[in-house]
Amino acid sequence: MQKLSSILEPYDNWFNNDETDKNMEAKQTLYKFCEEFKKQKPEKEYKKSRGSALHISYLHFLLEIKRAFLEQKYMRVCNELITLMRYEPYLQGRIYYNIIKTLEDGLEMRRDK
């Protein structure tokens, strides 16, 4: 987590109230983060979330990330990703693949085939 978090930390700002240039830098950083995240291997063993016993508790974070993408608040996306990685077993397949899909959709990286 440390390496992945360190990519996002300079842009960790839920309020997203810095100048526009920093927000666009955060967007570029999210591309880099996505590529690094894809290099991780999903875990095979099931783990519960730290903060909740609910299997789907990570979905709240993904919804907030999607909302931030819609509002073009890329620093908020960074903040929500750091929080998700802190409280959820983000390398589990159920979360891992959803994070990738959310990032690719939000950054318009997905190509229809």
pLDDT over 70, % of the chain = 91
28 assigned to some structural domain: yes
Mean model confidence pLDDT for the chain: 92
Whether residue 9 is predicted with pLDDT greater than 90 in this model: the reply is yes
111 within domain boundaries = no
Q: Is 113 part of any domain?
A: no
Nearest to 16 by CA among 25, 3, 7, 4: 25
pTM over 0.85: yes
Q: Which domain holds residue 102?
A: 2-106
Closest CA to 110 of 95, 94, 97: 97
Number of folded domains that form the chain: 1
Alpha-carbon distance values, 40 to 33, 36, 70 (Å): 11, 7, 26
Cβ-based neighbours of 23, under 8 Å, separated by 6 or more: 16, 72, 73, 74, 75
Residue with the bigger pLDDT between 81 and 56: it is 81
What pLDDT, on the 0 to 100 scale, is given for residue 113? 40
